């Protein structure tokens, strides 16, 4: 099919969130990939241009990470302007960005996620028992592992909470799952091959492991039996759809030492950098980066996300 079917495409990148730097990297990669496919794509940074200027474009590829780009805000603006866009709609984006609401919804429909409490004030820390350590302390509405701390001693808890609370007044303290970490990329509402993440020199797959370090190990095939991988992929698809997410995204999960899965979060605008996981999973199926970008863009041809 001709690239002309897409018209003029705005690649939304940058923005004002804590993930601006990564969004710029993702957006530039997507821009180059679309242009390689002959698509008339232009970089558009909402932090530097008025949204009204988007009326000059036929559709948008959303490569904005974090607040303002991944939380339903830009999706609502695009809906208002009548511009088709990639990825999840307003509801799916907003729910997935909010880890607290994600976990509440998953719990309601029987999707396994680590036990947690919300800590909105220092006095709520009294409800966290030291015996529950290790714990993960994280802001409810940040991505790229920004603000997450592993707490192994009760004395560390308040400092971890304060660090997270600087980013979001809603903080989650959840049980730390000891086991193996995996991710499932979703494109065209289909699960791609699972990837196992190994971080030999850090506690967990944090910001540095994701975007900076060169010693993070990515295993695809992931090493699980085929039947197990299929079951976990279906669970991830179910968790994705339960939030109203659609189009493309990524689901992160742990498998504990007893082989039990625990869903962590959904990313509705995953990274598209040289270190990113969705392009890696696509490559395992023989899908190159440029083709992947076009496939994701093609989801906007229906007129936008649901």
Q: Is 52 a catalytic residue?
A: no
Q: Is 182 a catalytic residue?
A: no
- 196 shares a domain with 47: no
- Is the per-residue pLDDT at 131 higher than 50? no
Within-domain flag for 299: no
Spatial separation of the C-alpha atoms in residues 74 and 93, rounded to whole Å: 10
Q: Which of 65-69, 138-142, 203-207, 269-273 has the lowest mean pLDDT?
A: 203-207
* Residue % of the chain over a pLDDT of 70: 91
Catalytic residue, candidates 267, 276, 299, 300: 267
Spatial separation of the C-alpha atoms in residues 17 and 27, rounded to whole Å: 14
Q: Which two tokens stand for residue 245?
A: 């997410």
Domain count, the chain: 3
- 238 shares a domain with 221: yes
pLDDT class of 132 with cuts at 50, 70, 90:
low
- Is the per-residue pLDDT at 305 higher than 60? no
- 108 shares a domain with 68: no
- 200 shares a domain with 148: no
Q: Which contiguous run of DSSP H or E holds residue 120?
A: none
pTM score: 0.88
Catalytic residue, candidates 14, 15, 17, 19: 19
Beta carbons within 8 Å of 4's beta carbon, 6+ residues apart: none
Catalytic residue, candidates 14, 27, 244, 271: 271
More confident residue, 131 or 298: 298
- Is the per-residue pLDDT at 130 higher than 80? no
Q: Tens digit of pLDDT for each residue in 136-163? A: 999 888 765 677 888 888 778 888 888 8
Domain with residue 152: its CATH number is: 3.30.1490.20
Catalytic residue, candidates 88, 93, 144, 246: 144
Domain boundary residue, one of 125, 156, 175: 175
Q: Is 19 a catalytic residue?
A: yes
Catalytic residue, candidates 71, 142, 265, 294: 265
Q: Tens digit of pLDDT for each residue in 276-301? A: 999 999 999 999 999 999 999 998 87
Catalytic residue, candidates 57, 85, 182, 211: 211
DSSP letter (8 states) at residue 52 = G
Q: Tens digit of pLDDT for each residue in 38-76? A: 999 999 999 999 999 999 999 999 999 988 999 999 999
DSSP letter (8 states) at residue 224 = S
- Is the per-residue pLDDT at 98 higher than 90? yes
For position 201, what pLDDT does the model report? 60
- 268 shares a domain with 187: yes
Spatial separation of the C-alpha atoms in residues 176 and 10, rounded to whole Å: 40
Q: Are strands 190-191 and 179-187 parallel, antiparallel or unpaired?
A: antiparallel
Backbone region of residue 38 per phi and psi (left: phi > 0; alpha: psi in -120 to 50; beta: other values): left
Place of tokens 């880890």: 99
Long-range contacts of the stretch 281-289 (C-beta < 8 A, 24+): 281/183, 281/184, 281/185, 281/192, 281/193, 281/194, 281/195, 281/220, 282/185, 282/187, 282/192, 284/192, 284/193, 284/220, 284/221, 285/192, 285/193, 289/29, 289/33
Q: Is 85 a catalytic residue?
A: no
pLDDT class of 9 with cuts at 50, 70, 90:
very high
Catalytic residue, candidates 71, 140, 250, 299: 250
Domain residue limits at 50: 3-87
Within-domain flag for 9: yes
Catalytic residue, candidates 85, 252, 299, 300: 252
């Amino acid at each position: 099919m001709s690239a002309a079917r897409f018209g003029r495409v705005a690649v939304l990148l940058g923005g004002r969130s804590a993930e601006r730097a990564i969004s710029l990297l993702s957006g530039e990669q997507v821009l180059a990939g679309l242009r390689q496919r002959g698509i008339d794509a232009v970089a558009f940074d909402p932090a530097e241009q008025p949204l009204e200027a988007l009326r000059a474009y036929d559709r948008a590829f959303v490569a904005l990470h974090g607040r303002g780009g991944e939380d339903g805000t830009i999706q609502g603006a695009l809906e208002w302007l009548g511009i088709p866009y990639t990825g999840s709609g307003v509801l799916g984006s907003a729910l997935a960005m909010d880890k607290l609401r994600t976990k509440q919804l998953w719990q309601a429909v029987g999707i396994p996620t680590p036990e947690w409490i919300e800590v909105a004030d220092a006095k709520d820390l009294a409800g966290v028992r030291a015996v529950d350590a290790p714990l993960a302390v994280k802001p409810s509405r940040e991505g790229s592992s920004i603000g997450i701390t592993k707490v192994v001693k009760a004395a560390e808890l308040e400092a971890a909470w304060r660090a997270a609370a600087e980013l979001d007044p809603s903080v989650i303290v959840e049980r730390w799952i000891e086991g193996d970490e995996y991710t499932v990329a979703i494109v065209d509402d289909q699960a791609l091959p699972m990837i196992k993440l190994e971080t030999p020199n850090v506690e967990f797959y944090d910001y540095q492991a994701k975007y900076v370090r060169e010693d993070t190990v990515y295993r695809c095939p992931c090493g699980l039996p085929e039947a197990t991988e299929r079951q976990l992929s279906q669970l991830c698809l179910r968790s994705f759809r339960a939030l109203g997410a659609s189009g493309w995204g990524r689901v992160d999960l742990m498998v504990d030492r007893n082989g039990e899965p625990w869903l962590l979060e959904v990313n509705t605008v995953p990274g598209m950098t040289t270190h990113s996981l969705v392009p890696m999973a696509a490559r395992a199926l023989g899908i190159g980066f440029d083709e992947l970008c076009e496939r994701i863009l093609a989801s906007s041809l229906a007129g936008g996300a649901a």
